[in-house]
Amino acid sequence: MVVVKFARVAVGAAYFALLAASACAAIPSYTSRQTAADPFALFSQPAARGTEDTAQPEKMTLARAFQLAFERNERVSIVQLGVRDAAIRSKDRWTEVEPTLNLIAGGILQRERLAGSVVLTPAEQVTAGATLVQPLYRRDLSASRAAGESKYESANASLKRQREQLARDVAEVFIDVLRTRKLLDVARAAVGRANTQHDFAAGRVKAGNALRTAELLALVDLRRTERQAVSAQREASSADIAFRRLVGRAPPSELELPPTPSLPDPKQSLEMAKRRMDLIALQLDVRGAQSEEAAAKERRWWPQLDLDASVLYGHPALLNRSVNWSVAGVLTIPLFQAGHEITDIALRGNDTHIATLELQEQIKIVIEEVELAALQVSSAGEAAALAEKEVDAAREHYQLVDKQVRLGAITFLEVTNAEAVLAEAENALEVAKMDRVRAIYDYLFAIGAIDLENPSSGSSAQRPKDI
């Protein structure tokens, strides 16, 4: 018997086509533009970016920098697509009890069989029909759906933590730009002081009141401060480049930090750290792995019940009947599936163990990060207080030395030393101030309390409950 099948259309495939379409329908615009464009086009755009920056506002707040970074960051877009992927996979688990409907058509060429004048099997026959399979009972369905939901919630928690990570990175480069600009101002002020001393020394040498060595010593000090100013300019330009990478535009002339965030007390910090989004995500991963393991165990022994229906039209008709149909209930009891079910259970159990270990490891990392961040905040505060006292003493010392050298009571060597001490103290003060602010934001990130909308707040909005 030769059977020729003309067509077989699977209606269930349309559902998966819709799921696939939803994954591509709402990809963020920035990602879409990057995919469509030349990925190396950015290398040819520095001049154009500089032209755009001239028309930008001359002031930017930290909250605005957060907003700009969120709109264009590739890593956040990737994690967003991971959330969408988890949503699709979670919905797909509902298809385990969805009906399968197929249209079938075929043609048959065979030997004709007769019983008297009655045709038992025609030599040629065309058939068309439909089959329906409706799952009625799957014991593992509930656990499978729970696993899908846990993975979707875990992906959402990971996205929130990624946004917090980006906020911390933006705050870091924001503060770094401010710090390098302050250091550049300090370096330029030092150049101004050294230039004044050089002019004074040159005047005394011309008047015959000092030796040439005094002028040379003042010139050496001037060149030293100029060299430091060049280094400060390089650091400021490097900070601008890092800022542009994260925020998408060059930093304007004025960057405004919000008021220094208030820090929660140690007990509150501990509670916040327990609800950090990365810990929430890992806890959900453990829950999802446990559900997957339970589903694998339930699939091994529990029976499955399906409704199987079909209708078939044939031409020419057989025994004066052109339409045949059937409806059957099918009970399937799995006994042995070539060992695949045992392997699946073992793998799911291993996944649960791995997820549990990853959670335990991350808890240790979180504790370490919080302790180090608290130590950094305390140390940075003490360093800033000491630096302020150091600058006060260095300024008073420089003013006294400046007066004394003009009276001829001391040499220019002491002036250059006082200038170097003052410049170093001013640099240390600016670094200590910015290090303290950065330490505060690092601490808020460590306990998961960076507020993405109000950076001056010490706690995140909508803190999740414990799982």
Rounded mean pLDDT of 331-345?
85
Contact criterion met (CB below 8 Å) for 166 and 76: yes
Fold of 2-32+57-97+140-302+339-446: Outer membrane efflux proteins (OEP) (1.20.1600)
158 vs 405, more confident: 158
pLDDT-derived band at 140, boundaries 50, 70, 90: confident
pLDDT-derived band at 236, boundaries 50, 70, 90: very high
Contact criterion met (CB below 8 Å) for 383 and 391: no
Q: How far apart are CA 449 and CA 275, in angstroms?
A: 10
Give the number of C-alpha atoms closer than 13 A to the C-alpha of residue 330, restricted to the C-beta side: 13
464 vs 241, more confident: 241
Residues in the chain, how many? 467
pLDDT digits (tens, 9 = 90+) for 391-438: 999 999 889 988 887 877 777 778 778 888 888 898 888 889 999 999
pLDDT-derived band at 458, boundaries 50, 70, 90: low
121-153 exposure pattern, b = at least 16 Cβ within 10 A, e = fewer = ebeebebbbbbebebeebbbbebbbbbbbbbbb
Considering only the C-alpha atoms of the chain, give the largest distance between any 2 of them, rounded to a whole number of Å. 144
pLDDT > 70: percent of the chain: 84
Three-state SS for 147-181 is: HHHHHHHHHHHHHHHHHHHHHHHHHHHHHHHHHHH
Considering only CA atoms, which of 60, 246, 285, 269 is closest in space to residue 158? 285
Q: Where are the domains of the chain?
A: 2-32+57-97+140-302+339-446
Q: What angle do CA 441, 444, 445 make, to 5 degrees?
A: 85
Looking at residue 57, its pLDDT comes to 63
Query: Which range is most confident: 2-11, 20-29, 111-120, 195-204?
Result: 195-204
Considering only CA atoms, which of 239, 112, 126 is closest in space to residue 172? 239
Identify any residues that bridge with 321 across adjacent strands, giving them in sequence order. Answer: 318
The amino acid present at 81, given as its one-letter code, is L
pLDDT at residue 51 is higher than 80: no
